[in-house]
Chains A and B, each alone.
Chain A
Amino acid sequence: QEQLQQSGPGLVKPSQTLSLTCAISGDSVSSNRASWNWIRQSPSRGLEWLGRTYYRSKWYYDYTPSVSSRITIDADTSKNQFSLQLNSVTPEDTAVYYCARSGHIEETYDYWGQGTLVTVSS
Chain B
Amino acid sequence: EILMTQSPATLSVSPGERATLSCRASQSVTSKLAWYQQKPGQAPRLLIYGASTRTTGIPARFSGSGSGTEFTLTISSLQSEDFAVYYCQQYNNWPRTFGQGTKVEIK
Contacts and interface: CB of A to CB of B under 8 A. Distances in A.
A65 B97 CA distance: 12
Contacts of A64: 95
Contact of B46 (A48, A65, A110): A110
A107 B32 contact: yes
Contacts of A105: 46, 49, 55
Chain A, interface residues (CB within 8 Å), range? 20 to 34
Contacts, number: 52
B44 A112 contact: yes
Given A105-B55, A108-B34, A46 B101 contact: yes
A48 to B, nearest CB: 7
Chain B's interface: helix, strand, loop or mixed, by majority? loop
Contact of A49 (B34, B95, B99, B100): B95
A47 B43 contact: no
B62 interface: no
B43 A108 contact: no
Given A46-B101, A47-B87, A107 B96 contact: yes
